[in-house]
Protein backbone atom coordinates (compact mmCIF):
# COMPACT_ATOMS: atom_id res chain seq x y z
CA UNK A 1 0.00 0.00 0.00
CA UNK A 2 1.47 3.36 -1.04
CA UNK A 3 1.55 5.72 1.91
CA UNK A 4 1.51 8.85 -0.26
CA UNK A 5 -1.90 8.26 -1.88
CA UNK A 6 -5.30 7.45 -0.43
CA UNK A 7 -8.57 7.11 -2.36
CA UNK A 8 -11.62 8.72 -0.71
CA UNK A 9 -14.43 8.39 -3.27
CA UNK A 10 -14.91 6.56 -6.56
CA UNK A 11 -17.25 6.60 -9.53
CA UNK A 12 -16.61 4.47 -12.64
CA UNK A 13 -12.78 4.58 -12.86
CA UNK A 14 -12.64 8.08 -11.40
CA UNK A 15 -11.64 8.80 -7.84
CA UNK A 16 -11.17 11.61 -5.37
CA UNK A 17 -7.95 11.04 -3.49
CA UNK A 18 -5.31 12.62 -1.32
CA UNK A 19 -1.71 12.80 -2.50
CA UNK A 20 0.57 13.46 0.46
CA UNK A 21 3.74 15.33 -0.55
CA UNK A 22 6.00 15.14 2.51
CA UNK A 23 8.80 17.41 1.33
CA UNK A 24 6.33 20.27 0.78
CA UNK A 25 4.33 19.29 3.88
CA UNK A 26 1.10 19.52 1.89
CA UNK A 27 -1.68 17.14 0.89
CA UNK A 28 -3.09 17.65 -2.59
CA UNK A 29 -6.67 16.62 -3.30
CA UNK A 30 -7.03 14.80 -6.60
CA UNK A 31 -8.08 15.05 -9.37
CA UNK A 32 -5.67 17.97 -9.49
CA UNK A 33 -4.36 20.35 -12.11
CA UNK A 34 -0.66 21.17 -12.24
CA UNK A 35 -0.25 24.46 -14.14
CA UNK A 36 2.99 24.40 -16.12
CA UNK A 37 5.39 27.19 -15.20
CA UNK A 38 8.13 28.19 -17.61
CA UNK A 39 10.75 29.79 -15.34
CA UNK A 40 11.69 32.17 -18.16
CA UNK A 41 8.11 33.45 -18.63
CA UNK A 42 5.63 34.92 -16.18
CA UNK A 43 2.22 34.82 -17.84
CA UNK A 44 0.50 34.10 -14.50
CA UNK A 45 2.75 34.18 -11.44
CA UNK A 46 2.94 31.06 -9.25
CA UNK A 47 1.90 33.11 -6.23
CA UNK A 48 -1.23 34.23 -8.09
CA UNK A 49 -1.92 30.62 -9.10
CA UNK A 50 -2.10 29.76 -5.41
CA UNK A 51 -4.02 32.76 -4.09
CA UNK A 52 -6.47 33.46 -6.93
CA UNK A 53 -6.95 30.07 -8.56
CA UNK A 54 -6.40 27.74 -5.62
CA UNK A 55 -3.54 25.78 -7.18
CA UNK A 56 -2.10 23.32 -4.65
CA UNK A 57 0.60 21.98 -6.95
CA UNK A 58 2.41 23.04 -10.12
CA UNK A 59 5.03 21.63 -12.46
CA UNK A 60 8.14 23.22 -13.92
CA UNK A 61 11.06 21.95 -15.97
CA UNK A 62 14.24 21.20 -14.06
CA UNK A 63 16.09 20.67 -17.34
CA UNK A 64 15.48 24.30 -18.36
CA UNK A 65 16.64 25.48 -14.94
CA UNK A 66 19.67 23.18 -15.07
CA UNK A 67 20.71 24.51 -18.48
CA UNK A 68 20.33 28.22 -17.70
CA UNK A 69 23.34 29.52 -15.76
CA UNK A 70 21.41 32.26 -13.96
CA UNK A 71 18.43 30.09 -13.05
CA UNK A 72 20.76 27.21 -12.12
CA UNK A 73 22.63 29.30 -9.56
CA UNK A 74 19.52 30.98 -8.17
CA UNK A 75 17.73 27.64 -7.76
CA UNK A 76 20.69 26.18 -5.87
CA UNK A 77 21.05 29.27 -3.67
CA UNK A 78 17.39 30.12 -3.01
CA UNK A 79 15.63 26.82 -3.57
CA UNK A 80 12.83 26.17 -6.03
CA UNK A 81 10.02 27.40 -3.78
CA UNK A 82 11.71 30.76 -3.24
CA UNK A 83 12.70 31.03 -6.89
CA UNK A 84 9.11 30.55 -8.05
CA UNK A 85 7.44 32.05 -4.96
CA UNK A 86 4.96 29.19 -4.60
CA UNK A 87 3.68 27.83 -1.27
CA UNK A 88 2.32 24.49 -2.52
CA UNK A 89 3.93 21.35 -3.92
CA UNK A 90 6.24 21.58 -6.94
CA UNK A 91 6.80 18.76 -9.40
CA UNK A 92 9.70 18.93 -11.84
CA UNK A 93 10.09 17.38 -15.27
CA UNK A 94 13.45 16.01 -16.32
CA UNK A 95 13.91 17.04 -19.94
CA UNK A 96 12.07 14.13 -21.50
CA UNK A 97 9.88 16.57 -23.44
CA UNK A 98 12.99 18.17 -24.91
CA UNK A 99 14.26 14.67 -25.68
CA UNK A 100 11.08 13.91 -27.62
CA UNK A 101 11.27 17.23 -29.48
CA UNK A 102 14.98 17.47 -30.26
CA UNK A 103 16.22 13.89 -30.04
CA UNK A 104 18.82 14.32 -27.31
CA UNK A 105 19.58 16.04 -24.02
CA UNK A 106 22.86 16.48 -22.19
CA UNK A 107 21.93 15.12 -18.76
CA UNK A 108 21.60 11.65 -17.23
CA UNK A 109 18.94 10.31 -14.89
CA UNK A 110 21.39 10.32 -11.98
CA UNK A 111 22.41 13.93 -12.64
CA UNK A 112 18.92 15.33 -13.09
CA UNK A 113 17.51 13.51 -10.04
CA UNK A 114 20.37 14.82 -7.91
CA UNK A 115 19.77 18.33 -9.24
CA UNK A 116 16.03 18.12 -8.59
CA UNK A 117 16.72 17.12 -5.00
CA UNK A 118 19.30 19.89 -4.56
CA UNK A 119 16.94 22.64 -5.70
CA UNK A 120 14.10 21.44 -3.48
CA UNK A 121 11.72 19.70 -5.88
CA UNK A 122 8.90 17.87 -4.12
CA UNK A 123 8.18 15.35 -6.91
CA UNK A 124 11.01 14.50 -9.28
CA UNK A 125 11.04 12.79 -12.66
CA UNK A 126 13.76 10.57 -14.20
CA UNK A 127 14.75 10.79 -17.86
CA UNK A 128 12.39 8.38 -19.59
CA UNK A 129 12.03 7.74 -23.32
CA UNK A 130 8.71 9.17 -24.59
CA UNK A 131 8.00 6.88 -27.54
CA UNK A 132 5.59 8.49 -30.04
CA UNK A 133 2.47 6.75 -31.34
CA UNK A 134 2.48 4.27 -34.21
CA UNK A 135 6.17 3.35 -34.22
CA UNK A 136 7.11 -0.28 -34.68
CA UNK A 137 6.51 -2.64 -31.78
CA UNK A 138 10.23 -3.43 -31.82
CA UNK A 139 11.22 0.20 -31.32
CA UNK A 140 8.57 0.78 -28.65
CA UNK A 141 9.76 -2.28 -26.75
CA UNK A 142 13.42 -1.20 -26.97
CA UNK A 143 12.56 2.30 -25.72
CA UNK A 144 10.52 0.81 -22.90
CA UNK A 145 13.45 -1.33 -21.79
CA UNK A 146 15.60 1.82 -21.59
CA UNK A 147 12.93 3.60 -19.56
CA UNK A 148 12.66 0.65 -17.19
CA UNK A 149 16.42 0.64 -16.69
CA UNK A 150 16.21 4.31 -15.73
CA UNK A 151 13.39 3.63 -13.30
CA UNK A 152 15.61 1.08 -11.61
CA UNK A 153 18.35 3.73 -11.39
CA UNK A 154 15.83 6.15 -9.89
CA UNK A 155 14.69 3.53 -7.40
CA UNK A 156 18.28 2.99 -6.26
CA UNK A 157 18.95 6.74 -5.88
CA UNK A 158 18.78 8.36 -2.45
CA UNK A 159 16.05 10.99 -2.82
CA UNK A 160 15.17 11.57 0.82
CA UNK A 161 11.58 12.79 1.28
CA UNK A 162 11.28 13.77 -2.38
CA UNK A 163 8.69 11.71 -4.23
CA UNK A 164 9.79 10.29 -7.58
CA UNK A 165 7.62 9.52 -10.57
CA UNK A 166 7.76 6.34 -12.65
CA UNK A 167 6.66 7.12 -16.23
CA UNK A 168 4.66 4.43 -18.03
CA UNK A 169 5.59 4.26 -21.72
CA UNK A 170 4.90 1.80 -24.54
CA UNK A 171 3.58 3.90 -27.44
CA UNK A 172 0.16 2.75 -28.72
CA UNK A 173 0.69 -0.92 -27.83
CA UNK A 174 -1.62 -2.07 -25.00
CA UNK A 175 0.59 -5.06 -24.18
CA UNK A 176 3.60 -2.78 -23.67
CA UNK A 177 1.64 -0.21 -21.67
CA UNK A 178 0.29 -2.91 -19.38
CA UNK A 179 3.76 -4.41 -18.98
CA UNK A 180 5.18 -0.95 -18.27
CA UNK A 181 2.49 -0.31 -15.66
CA UNK A 182 3.20 -3.61 -13.95
CA UNK A 183 6.95 -2.91 -13.88
CA UNK A 184 6.49 0.63 -12.56
CA UNK A 185 4.04 -0.55 -9.91
CA UNK A 186 6.58 -3.08 -8.65
CA UNK A 187 9.08 -0.31 -7.86
CA UNK A 188 8.93 1.78 -4.70
CA UNK A 189 8.44 4.95 -6.77
CA UNK A 190 5.47 7.14 -6.05
CA UNK A 191 3.62 8.83 -8.94
CA UNK A 192 2.87 7.22 -12.30
CA UNK A 193 2.71 9.45 -15.38
CA UNK A 194 1.27 7.90 -18.53
CA UNK A 195 3.64 9.47 -21.04
CA UNK A 196 3.77 10.38 -24.72
CA UNK A 197 0.03 10.96 -25.11
CA UNK A 198 0.34 14.56 -26.34
CA UNK A 199 0.54 13.53 -30.03
CA UNK A 200 -2.68 11.55 -29.56
CA UNK A 201 -4.41 14.52 -27.95
CA UNK A 202 -3.14 16.93 -30.60
CA UNK A 203 -4.63 14.68 -33.28
CA UNK A 204 -7.92 14.22 -31.37
CA UNK A 205 -7.28 10.49 -31.03
CA UNK A 206 -9.24 10.18 -27.80
CA UNK A 207 -10.14 6.57 -28.51
CA UNK A 208 -6.46 5.61 -28.66
CA UNK A 209 -5.76 7.70 -25.56
CA UNK A 210 -8.41 5.75 -23.64
CA UNK A 211 -6.95 2.41 -24.76
CA UNK A 212 -3.46 3.54 -23.70
CA UNK A 213 -4.63 4.61 -20.24
CA UNK A 214 -6.77 1.48 -19.79
CA UNK A 215 -3.77 -0.73 -20.54
CA UNK A 216 -1.52 1.20 -18.15
CA UNK A 217 -4.17 1.01 -15.43
CA UNK A 218 -4.40 -2.76 -15.80
CA UNK A 219 -0.73 -2.96 -14.89
CA UNK A 220 -0.84 -0.41 -12.07
CA UNK A 221 -2.29 -1.05 -8.63
CA UNK A 222 -5.41 0.64 -7.29
CA UNK A 223 -3.23 2.72 -4.95
CA UNK A 224 -1.14 4.23 -7.77
CA UNK A 225 -1.73 7.95 -8.44
CA UNK A 226 -1.84 8.34 -12.23
CA UNK A 227 -0.66 11.48 -14.03
CA UNK A 228 -1.73 11.99 -17.66
CA UNK A 229 1.40 13.79 -18.84
CA UNK A 230 0.77 16.77 -21.11
CA UNK A 231 -3.04 16.69 -20.88
CA UNK A 232 -4.25 20.21 -20.27
CA UNK A 233 -7.48 20.86 -22.17
CA UNK A 234 -10.57 20.87 -19.92
CA UNK A 235 -12.71 19.31 -22.68
CA UNK A 236 -11.18 15.88 -22.05
CA UNK A 237 -10.63 15.91 -18.27
CA UNK A 238 -13.89 14.13 -17.39
CA UNK A 239 -13.14 11.35 -19.87
CA UNK A 240 -9.61 10.90 -18.52
CA UNK A 241 -10.74 10.97 -14.88
CA UNK A 242 -13.41 8.35 -15.63
CA UNK A 243 -10.61 6.16 -17.00
CA UNK A 244 -8.65 6.57 -13.75
CA UNK A 245 -6.32 9.56 -14.15
CA UNK A 246 -5.67 11.72 -11.09
CA UNK A 247 -3.23 14.44 -12.18
CA UNK A 248 -3.09 16.71 -15.22
CA UNK A 249 -0.53 19.32 -16.22
CA UNK A 250 -1.59 22.29 -18.31
CA UNK A 251 0.56 24.56 -20.40
CA UNK A 252 -2.48 25.09 -22.64
CA UNK A 253 -3.77 27.97 -20.52
CA UNK A 254 -0.70 30.05 -21.43
CA UNK A 255 0.16 28.67 -24.87
CA UNK A 256 -3.38 29.14 -26.15
CA UNK A 257 -3.61 32.65 -24.70
CA UNK A 258 -0.48 33.61 -26.61
CA UNK A 259 -2.35 32.76 -29.84
CA UNK A 260 -5.62 34.45 -28.80
CA UNK A 261 -7.30 31.11 -28.18
CA UNK A 262 -10.13 30.91 -25.66
CA UNK A 263 -10.71 27.63 -23.82
CA UNK A 264 -14.14 26.18 -23.11
CA UNK A 265 -15.24 22.74 -21.93
CA UNK A 266 -16.62 22.17 -25.43
CA UNK A 267 -13.42 23.01 -27.28
CA UNK A 268 -11.29 25.99 -28.27
CA UNK A 269 -12.49 29.23 -29.84
CA UNK A 270 -10.55 32.01 -31.51
CA UNK A 271 -11.03 35.32 -29.72
CA UNK A 272 -11.47 36.97 -33.13
CA UNK A 273 -14.59 34.85 -33.76
CA UNK A 274 -16.39 35.58 -30.49
CA UNK A 275 -19.27 38.05 -30.32
CA UNK A 276 -20.10 37.03 -26.75
CA UNK A 277 -18.04 35.53 -23.93
CA UNK A 278 -19.83 32.29 -22.87
CA UNK A 279 -18.37 32.30 -19.37
CA UNK A 280 -18.94 34.06 -16.05
CA UNK A 281 -15.38 34.10 -14.70
CA UNK A 282 -13.80 37.35 -13.46
CA UNK A 283 -12.27 38.07 -16.87
CA UNK A 284 -15.40 37.42 -18.90
CA UNK A 285 -17.59 39.55 -16.65
CA UNK A 286 -15.09 42.44 -16.78
CA UNK A 287 -14.63 42.60 -20.56
CA UNK A 288 -16.56 42.28 -23.76
CA UNK A 289 -14.90 40.48 -26.70
CA UNK A 290 -14.18 43.84 -28.36
CA UNK A 291 -12.60 45.16 -25.16
CA UNK A 292 -10.40 42.07 -24.84
CA UNK A 293 -9.29 42.34 -28.45
CA UNK A 294 -8.40 46.01 -27.93
CA UNK A 295 -6.01 45.34 -25.03
CA UNK A 296 -2.23 45.57 -25.56
CA UNK A 297 -0.78 42.20 -26.56
CA UNK A 298 0.82 41.33 -23.21
CA UNK A 299 -2.24 42.40 -21.21
CA UNK A 300 -4.61 40.49 -23.49
CA UNK A 301 -2.43 37.39 -23.18
CA UNK A 302 -2.50 37.64 -19.38
CA UNK A 303 -6.29 38.08 -19.26
CA UNK A 304 -6.91 35.21 -21.68
CA UNK A 305 -4.57 32.98 -19.67
CA UNK A 306 -6.52 33.86 -16.53
CA UNK A 307 -9.81 32.96 -18.23
CA UNK A 308 -8.32 29.70 -19.49
CA UNK A 309 -7.23 28.82 -15.95
CA UNK A 310 -10.63 29.70 -14.47
CA UNK A 311 -12.35 27.38 -16.96
CA UNK A 312 -9.83 24.61 -16.35
CA UNK A 313 -9.99 24.71 -12.55
CA UNK A 314 -13.79 24.97 -12.67
CA UNK A 315 -13.95 21.75 -14.68
CA UNK A 316 -11.78 19.96 -12.11
CA UNK A 317 -14.19 21.06 -9.36
CA UNK A 318 -17.17 20.01 -11.48
CA UNK A 319 -15.65 16.56 -11.96
CA UNK A 320 -15.08 16.16 -8.22
CA UNK A 321 -18.70 17.04 -7.52
CA UNK A 322 -19.81 14.54 -10.17
CA UNK A 323 -17.76 11.81 -8.48
CA UNK A 324 -19.31 12.66 -5.11
CA UNK A 325 -22.80 12.62 -6.64
CA UNK A 326 -22.18 9.39 -8.54
CA UNK A 327 -22.88 10.86 -11.98
CA UNK A 328 -19.41 11.17 -13.49
CA UNK A 329 -20.34 9.17 -16.59
CA UNK A 330 -23.27 11.48 -17.24
CA UNK A 331 -20.81 14.40 -17.25
CA UNK A 332 -18.53 12.45 -19.58
CA UNK A 333 -21.48 11.89 -21.89
CA UNK A 334 -22.23 15.62 -21.97
CA UNK A 335 -18.61 16.37 -22.87
CA UNK A 336 -18.59 13.61 -25.49
CA UNK A 337 -21.28 15.46 -27.44
CA UNK A 338 -18.90 18.40 -27.98
CA UNK A 339 -16.90 16.68 -30.73
CA UNK A 340 -17.20 13.46 -32.76
CA UNK A 341 -13.76 12.28 -31.64
CA UNK A 342 -14.73 12.81 -28.00
CA UNK A 343 -17.71 10.55 -28.67
CA UNK A 344 -15.28 7.98 -30.06
CA UNK A 345 -13.35 8.30 -26.81
CA UNK A 346 -16.47 7.79 -24.69
CA UNK A 347 -17.52 4.75 -26.68
CA UNK A 348 -14.02 3.32 -26.27
CA UNK A 349 -14.24 4.03 -22.54
CA UNK A 350 -17.38 1.88 -22.44
CA UNK A 351 -15.50 -0.90 -24.23
CA UNK A 352 -13.62 -1.10 -20.92
CA UNK A 353 -16.80 -1.16 -18.78
CA UNK A 354 -15.86 -4.48 -17.08
CA UNK A 355 -12.58 -2.87 -15.99
CA UNK A 356 -14.37 0.25 -14.71
CA UNK A 357 -16.96 -1.87 -12.90
CA UNK A 358 -14.34 -3.13 -10.45
CA UNK A 359 -14.01 0.33 -8.87
CA UNK A 360 -17.55 1.59 -9.48
CA UNK A 361 -19.71 1.83 -6.32
CA UNK A 362 -22.48 -0.76 -6.11
CA UNK A 363 -24.96 1.88 -4.96
CA UNK A 364 -25.45 5.52 -5.97
CA UNK A 365 -28.18 8.11 -6.03
CA UNK A 366 -29.62 7.57 -9.50
CA UNK A 367 -28.90 6.28 -12.98
CA UNK A 368 -29.96 8.49 -15.89
CA UNK A 369 -30.34 6.81 -19.27
CA UNK A 370 -29.49 9.65 -21.66
CA UNK A 371 -28.36 7.91 -24.86
CA UNK A 372 -27.84 4.46 -26.30
CA UNK A 373 -24.28 4.56 -24.86
CA UNK A 374 -25.87 4.37 -21.39
CA UNK A 375 -26.78 0.74 -22.14
CA UNK A 376 -23.06 -0.13 -21.96
CA UNK A 377 -22.23 1.51 -18.63
CA UNK A 378 -20.54 -0.45 -15.81
CA UNK A 379 -23.77 -0.57 -13.79
CA UNK A 380 -25.49 -2.45 -16.61
CA UNK A 381 -22.57 -4.85 -16.95
CA UNK A 382 -22.70 -5.56 -13.20
CA UNK A 383 -26.45 -6.15 -13.22
CA UNK A 384 -26.20 -8.63 -16.08
CA UNK A 385 -23.45 -10.52 -14.25
CA UNK A 386 -25.54 -10.66 -11.07
CA UNK A 387 -28.54 -11.99 -12.97
CA UNK A 388 -26.58 -15.19 -13.50
CA UNK A 389 -26.59 -15.78 -9.73
CA UNK A 390 -30.38 -15.73 -9.45
CA UNK A 391 -32.44 -18.87 -9.31
CA UNK A 392 -35.02 -18.78 -12.10
CA UNK A 393 -38.45 -20.37 -11.39
CA UNK A 394 -39.69 -23.16 -13.62
CA UNK A 395 -42.44 -20.94 -15.00
CA UNK A 396 -41.74 -17.22 -15.14
CA UNK A 397 -43.76 -14.34 -16.56
CA UNK A 398 -41.83 -11.28 -17.73
CA UNK A 399 -43.69 -7.97 -17.88
CA UNK A 400 -42.75 -4.31 -18.29
CA UNK A 401 -45.57 -3.13 -16.05
CA UNK A 402 -47.21 -4.27 -12.83
CA UNK A 403 -47.42 -7.92 -11.86
CA UNK A 404 -50.69 -9.60 -12.88
CA UNK A 405 -52.89 -10.54 -9.94
CA UNK A 406 -53.62 -14.00 -11.22
CA UNK A 407 -51.70 -16.36 -13.41
CA UNK A 408 -50.39 -19.84 -13.84
CA UNK A 409 -46.76 -18.87 -13.22
CA UNK A 410 -44.42 -19.49 -10.31
CA UNK A 411 -43.32 -15.85 -10.37
CA UNK A 412 -43.48 -12.63 -12.36
CA UNK A 413 -40.39 -10.54 -12.96
CA UNK A 414 -40.20 -7.02 -14.26
CA UNK A 415 -38.22 -6.12 -17.40
CA UNK A 416 -36.56 -2.70 -17.38
CA UNK A 417 -34.39 -1.77 -20.37
CA UNK A 418 -31.38 -1.67 -20.44
CA UNK A 419 -31.04 -3.90 -17.36
CA UNK A 420 -33.30 -6.75 -18.38
CA UNK A 421 -35.43 -8.96 -16.11
CA UNK A 422 -35.24 -8.92 -12.33
CA UNK A 423 -37.36 -9.99 -9.33
CA UNK A 424 -39.81 -7.28 -8.34
CA UNK A 425 -38.40 -7.24 -4.82
CA UNK A 426 -35.31 -5.55 -6.28
CA UNK A 427 -37.27 -2.72 -7.90
CA UNK A 428 -36.18 -0.15 -5.33
CA UNK A 429 -32.49 -1.06 -5.42
CA UNK A 430 -29.81 0.71 -7.46
CA UNK A 431 -29.52 0.84 -10.46
CA UNK A 432 -33.03 -0.48 -11.09
CA UNK A 433 -34.46 2.85 -9.94
CA UNK A 434 -33.03 4.30 -13.15
CA UNK A 435 -34.64 7.22 -14.94
CA UNK A 436 -35.29 5.87 -18.44
CA UNK A 437 -37.04 7.69 -21.32
CA UNK A 438 -40.57 6.61 -22.20
CA UNK A 439 -39.46 6.01 -25.79
CA UNK A 440 -37.01 3.15 -25.36
CA UNK A 441 -34.29 2.89 -28.00
CA UNK A 442 -33.00 -0.24 -29.69
CA UNK A 443 -29.73 -0.32 -27.69
CA UNK A 444 -31.63 -0.44 -24.39
CA UNK A 445 -33.90 -3.20 -25.64
CA UNK A 446 -30.98 -5.25 -26.96
CA UNK A 447 -29.10 -4.85 -23.68
CA UNK A 448 -32.19 -5.97 -21.76
**Catalytic annotation, residues:** 93
Strands (E) across 215-280 are located at 226-228, 247-250, 261-264, 267-270
DSSP for 44-111, please give it: S-HHHHHHHH---EEEEEHHHHHH-HHHHHHHHHH-HHHHHT--SEEEEE-SHHHHHHHS--S--HHH
Nearest CA among 90, 9, 54 for reference residue 312? 54
332 torsion bin: left (phi>0), alpha (psi -120 to 50), beta (else): alpha
Burial 29-55 (b: 16+ CB within 10 A, else e): ebbbbbbbbebeeebbebebbbeebeb
Estimate the crossing angle of helix 174-186 against helix 206-219, to 10 degrees: 40
Rg of the Cα atoms in the chain: 24
Would you say 196 and 100 are in contact if contact means Cβ atoms under 8 Å apart? Answer: yes
Nearest CA among 164, 261, 272, 181 for reference residue 218? 181
- The CA-atom distances, in angstroms, between 347 and each of 138, 191, 279, 437 are 29, 28, 29, 20
- The CA-atom distances, in angstroms, between 76 and each of 117, 165, 208 are 10, 22, 41
Strands (E) across 197-260 are located at 226-228, 247-250
The neighbour count for residue 302, using CB atoms within 10 Å, is 19
- The CA-atom distances, in angstroms, between 6 and each of 126, 192, 193, 225 are 24, 14, 17, 9
Would you say 231 and 197 are in contact if contact means Cβ atoms under 8 Å apart? Answer: yes
Cis peptide leading into residue 420 (ω within 30°): no
Q: Which residues contact 52 (CB under 8 A, 6 or more apart)?
A: 306
- The CA-atom distances, in angstroms, between 134 and each of 137, 197, 208, 219 are 8, 12, 11, 21
Amino acid sequence: MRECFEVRDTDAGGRIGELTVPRADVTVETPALLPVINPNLDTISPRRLATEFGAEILITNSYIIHGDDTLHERALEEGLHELLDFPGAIMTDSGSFQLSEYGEIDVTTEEILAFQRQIGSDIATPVDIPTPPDVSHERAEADLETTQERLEIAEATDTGEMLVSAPVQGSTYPDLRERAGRHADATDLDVFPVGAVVPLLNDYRYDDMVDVVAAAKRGLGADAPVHLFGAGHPMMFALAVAMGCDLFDSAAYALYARDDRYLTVRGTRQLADLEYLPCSCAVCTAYSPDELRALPDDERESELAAHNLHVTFAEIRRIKEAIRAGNLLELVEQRARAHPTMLDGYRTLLDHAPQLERSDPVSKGSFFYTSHESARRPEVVRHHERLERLSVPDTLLLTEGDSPRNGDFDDSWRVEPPFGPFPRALSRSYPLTAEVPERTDRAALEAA
